[in-house]
Amino acid sequence: MGTTDISTLREAFRRAPFVAEMGLELESLGSGECVTFLDIEPRHLQQNGFVHAGVQATMADHSAGAAAFTLVREGCYVVTAELKLSLLRAAQGERLICRSSVLKPGKQISFVESEVYCVSSGEERLVAKASATMVVVGQERR
């Protein structure tokens, strides 16, 4: 967790209007790890009835950022440089769970992966996987 305070992180997480409105919830945070979830509602869907790729991309990105943030020095934060999302299966069910973990932390950039699972009839299936490059930004640097 480095020098970052968890409660600060939780607050930051909830202060992002787009994910707050979407209904993204923080489940847990650890050193280089973040788990989030989202209860699927009709408003999250694509015209075909499956969860929109944009919902999954948002979860994958936001959770990855939080995971990376747990490992940066105090006063620094992270911004996404790029995110790649592979959509493995159509997502249909009750809930999405996103598990993000830092593959390689760094002073300048961190590499993070996010796995998005869809819970349907109580069963979890991997529906998407993302890899992201996060830039570590500090007060003194910009």
Burial 61-77 (b: 16+ CB within 10 A, else e): bbbbbbbbbbbbeeebb
Which of 2/113 has CB closer to its own copies?
Answer: 113
With CB under 8 A as the contact rule, which of the stretches 31-39, 50-58, 68-76, 92-100 interacts with its own copies?
50-58
With CB under 8 A as the contact rule, which of the stretches 31-39, 54-62, 67-75, 92-100 interacts with its own copies?
54-62
Kindly state the smallest distance separating residue 77's Cβ from its own copies, in Å: 8
Which of 122/141 has CB closer to its own copies?
Answer: 141
Q: Is 73 in the site for its own copies (CB under 8 A)?
A: no
- Number of shown-chain residues binding its own copies (CB under 8 A): 49
Question: What gap in Å lies between CA 111 and CA 132, rounded to an integer?
Answer: 6
Q: Is 6 in the site for its own copies (CB under 8 A)?
A: no
What token pair was written down for 75?
């006063």
Give the H or E element holding residue 33: strand 33-39
Q: Is 84 in the site for its own copies (CB under 8 A)?
A: yes
Give 81: exposed, middle or buried? Use CB within 10 Å, 0-12, 13-18, 19+: exposed
Cβ-contact 136, 108 below 8 angstroms: yes
Cβ-contact 70, 29 below 8 angstroms: yes
Residues lying near its own copies in the complex (CB under 8 A): 12, 15-19, 21-22, 42-47, 52-55, 57-59, 61-62, 79-90, 103-104, 107-109, 111, 113, 126, 129, 131, 133, 135, 137, 141
